[in-house]
């Protein structure tokens, strides 16, 4: 628990946006520049909320986070300037320098404001541009479900 408190303080000091992470276990590998959190991982970053079984944070030489990788039973709520996504995936990678989420592995996303449902193998959500890119596979094409009000 002591290490988790140090980690949370360290992360808060490095980033302008507040990040809170909780987990059952925490491991830090200073030589490899990674931290691993396991068991009931819950990360809150601004309005974004993600839960998973495991989180690996990779740091650069200056100890700034380069990449967050969440795996195992990933459930999330991600907010952009104009959209509010809730969904699930096998894995989510967040790149803080690009403010970009990449969800992969049987991704299911519901856009809460419009009630649209997106399914694919990979969905990229760019928080800066607001652009979303959805990729399917040959045997699992992208699926987009929405309602149209017709007069």
pLDDT in tens, the chain (151 residues): 444 544 544 444 444 577 899 999 999 998 999 999 999 999 998 889 999 999 999 999 988 899 999 999 999 998 887 888 899 999 999 999 998 999 999 888 888 878 888 888 888 988 878 777 777 766 666 665 656 667 6
pLDDT of the residue at 5: 45
Domain ranges of the chain: 2-145
* Residues in contact with 95: Cβ distance below 8 Å, sequence separation at least 6, in sequence order: 66, 67, 102
- Residues 67, 47 contacting (CB under 8 angstroms): no
Question: Could you report the per-residue pLDDT of 99-110, keeping only the tens digit for each?
Answer: 899 999 988 888
pTM (predicted TM-score): 0.78
Taking only Cα atoms into account, the Rg of the chain, rounded to an integer number of angstroms, comes to 16
Which CATH superfamily includes the segment(s) 2-145? Lipopolysaccharide (LPS) transport protein A like domain (2.60.450.10)
């Amino acid at each position: 628990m002591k290490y988790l408190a140090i980690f949370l303080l360290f992360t808060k000091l490095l980033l302008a946006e507040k990040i809170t992470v909780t987990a059952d276990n925490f491991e830090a590998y200073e030589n490899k520049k990674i931290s691993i959190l396991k068991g009931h991982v819950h990360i809150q970053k601004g309005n974004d909320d993600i839960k998973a079984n495991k989180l690996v944070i990779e740091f650069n030489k200056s100890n700034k986070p380069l990449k967050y990788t969440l795996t195992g039973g990933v459930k999330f709520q991600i907010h952009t300037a104009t959209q509010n996504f809730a969904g699930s995936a096998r894995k989510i990678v967040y790149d803080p320098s690009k403010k970009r989420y990449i969800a992969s592995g049987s991704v299911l996303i519901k856009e809460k404001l419009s009630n649209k449902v997106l399914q694919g193998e990979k969905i990229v959500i760019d928080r800066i541009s607001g652009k979303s890119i959805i990729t399917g596979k040959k045997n699992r094409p992208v699926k987009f479900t929405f309602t149209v009000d017709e007069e």
